[in-house]
Chain A
């Protein structure tokens, strides 16, 4: 029997990873009103950037992370300019269709470039290994994930509450017309926010390979998880995303340990019933 402490620790690590990947989606769906189902494809791209750099060019793991962030942010910038921007005013159906199309293209493209199999990764020695503290097995890599999650949360909270750009985001979200009138370029603010969110997905994809793997099916396989985090947490709410991601992580890991025969059933059922109870999510504003 797996101890509760282990489930909690592993669940938190998994949840933090889900949070890092999905918080950008929360921004896109909540603040910009865009149903971006291709968010997982951004995460996958980050993962491939990192593995390619490590395996082909011998770049150290920690250095691949900022590169993955920047590369994915750049790609998302182009996509936003060329495709997404045209559909801001369209209904969510058109947005869903466009982004499903992008997912299909990303899956086939990744298969073409990197092959259909799982990507092999070798983590640096200082991130492997395990300690046992008070009967809980603490994997160093999972601890690293939790630290990354905490760092991202802190950066987001500080960035939005303490910086000038953060104030502009808050203004643009609360009242876009008023913000525009005050001389804030709302389009540019949103587009930069979108880039940052996608970059975080890329970062999450890169740090996540060791835990959840990487293959061309990634965007479809995990799409639902990211959507659950966003929908349950409440669109556009960082706090909501964090809590939803951690809950999802703990319940998913716990479910896999204790009731493996139920599979993902519990998670989906929890999502549907939570959304019935509060259609706008736990911390949704609408």
Chain B
């Protein structure tokens, strides 16, 4: 059993508050632009009432990217096959609904738990390999699952996908409607819950240890951080969150296609995260939004060759915008802020 070291404010207040704890508390305080961000997301039904289907797809992709962000952006663990967990969650939710368990919330949690369980089992492997071999193993695992889904026609429907999924009304009150209103509200609630979890996690001592490992694993090992246990834990959490995102996609679209396990899905989520900015909680959502909207526009304007522009976008981000959108905005804001402060003192 892995135990999480949790900072308890009461306990540390009783003693003298250490610097680390106060800094942690400052990190976890909500800032005005965070509140603004979620308020503007929540007002989507008022701003873009006709694009709610796309908006919920963005939220689902954002949650998936967030799960990868925990692993890659914070844990520094690269995965070329994160779609494995997304896909397992998607299939689990679909199969549950098809076999009589149509209640969405419990189905979602169960699917996430299943993906997390798979992640936990695989984490024993993941902590043993590094570098290019890690890329190959993560890719290999997702390919094995993809192949199994294609060949396991009797259970998964093979290439045709899983059809005839009937999801019960949400909380017994809101059936999934064709304008995507229920889907949007549901996706927003789940994505926000996932975000809160991730936010709590990265500003906990465990989250800080993780970021320390990302920066300098050897030094963290030297000061006694259990590297393998931490890696395994974040891998499990990330897998569970990816599974929840997959299950959410199944429940809101009432269909599972075999490409939820495909390599392209793994590549796309990597692109979203890098585009938005890895190692930053909002990077996942902003990257997902930009990616999905750009893809939507490109695919409409240039259905055969949009892949080209996608590839070009990726090459340019890697070469010129390492921190992604968040990193770029941060650099500009920092520069402006420095200028402003300088002007103020004069």
The finding on whether chains A and B are genuine partners in a shared complex, rather than unrelated, reads: yes
Query: With an 8 A cutoff between CB atoms, is B21 at the interface?
Result: no
Flag whether A102 is at the interface (Cβ < 8 A). yes
Contact with A along B147-176 (1 / 0, CB 8 A): 110110000000000000000000000000
Q: Which residues of B contact A220 (CB under 8 A)?
A: 263-264
Q: Would B143 and A111 count as touching, CB distance under 8 A?
A: no
Chain A interface main SS type: helix
Residue of A nearest to B302 (CB): A108
- What's the nearest-Cβ distance from chain B to residue A205, in Å? 19
Please choose the segment from B128-136, B188-196, B244-252 that sits at the chain A interface, where 4 or more of its residues have CB less than 8 A away: B128-136
Given A227-B136, A262-B151, A108 contacting B305 (CB threshold 8 A) = yes
Q: When A and B form their complex, which 9 residue pairs have the shortest distance between CB atoms, in order from nearest?
A: A104-B311, A101-B314, A108-B308, A105-B311, A101-B315, A108-B307, A272-B140, A101-B311, A231-B136
Number of interface residues of A (CB under 8 A): 46
Rounded to whole angstroms, the CA-CA distance of A97 and B72 in the bound complex is 13
Q: Whole-angstrom distance from the CB of B146 to the nearest CB of chain A?
A: 9
Q: Which residue of A lies closest to B264 (CB)?
A: A220
Bound Cα distance from A98 to B78, whole angstroms: 15
**Within the complex, which residue of A105, A111, A228, A262 is in contact with B315, where a contact is CB–CB below 8 Å?**
A105
Verify if A83 is at the interface (C-beta below 8 Å from B).
yes
Within 8 A of A (CB), among B105-150: 125, 128-133, 135-137, 139-141, 143-144, 147-148, 150
Residue-wise interface mask of A (235-279) relative to B, using a CB-CB cutoff of 8 A (1 in contact, 0 not):
100000000000000000000000001111100110110011001
Most chain A beta carbons < 10 A, residue from B72, B130, B143, B263: B143
Do B151 and A272 touch (CB < 8 A)? no
A112 and B72 contacting across the interface, CB-CB below 8 Å? no
Q: Give chain A residues whose Cβ lies under 8 Å from the Cβ of B148.
A: 265
Q: Other CB < 8 Å A-B pairs besides A104-B310, A263-B151, 16 of them?
A: A93-B72, A96-B80, A100-B270, A102-B311, A105-B308, A106-B311, A108-B304, A111-B305, A227-B136, A231-B132, A263-B150, A265-B148, A272-B137, A275-B129, A279-B130, A280-B133
Interface residues of B (CB under 8 A from A): 72, 78, 80, 125, 128-133, 135-137, 139-141, 143-144, 147-148, 150-151, 263-264, 267, 270-271, 274, 304-315, 317-319, 322
Look across to chain B and name the residue whose beta carbon is closest to the beta carbon of A227: B136
Residues of A contacting B315 in the complex (Cβ-Cβ under 8 angstroms): 83, 98, 101-102, 105
Interface 1/0 per residue, A65-92 and B, CB below 8 Å: 0000000000000000001001100011
Residues of A within 8 A of B143 (CB): 224, 264, 268
User: A268 to B129, Cβ gap below 8 A?
Assistant: no
The answer to whether B151 touches A101, judged by C-beta atoms less than 8 angstroms apart, is no
Closest to B137 in A: A275
B307: contacting residue among A92, A107, A272, A276, CB under 8 A: A107
Q: Does A94 contact B (CB under 8 A)?
A: yes
Nearest-neighbour CB distance to chain A for B84, whole angstroms, equals 12
Q: Are A93 and B147 in contact (CB under 8 A)?
A: no
Q: Which residues on the A side are within 8 Å of B150 (C-beta)? A: 263
User: Does A35 lie at the interface of the complex (its beta carbon under 8 Å from any beta carbon of B)?
Assistant: yes
Q: Contacts of B305 on A, CB cut-off 8 Å?
A: 108, 111-112
Q: Is A103 an interface residue (CB 8 A)?
A: yes
Say whether A109 faces chain B, with CB atoms less than 8 Å apart. yes
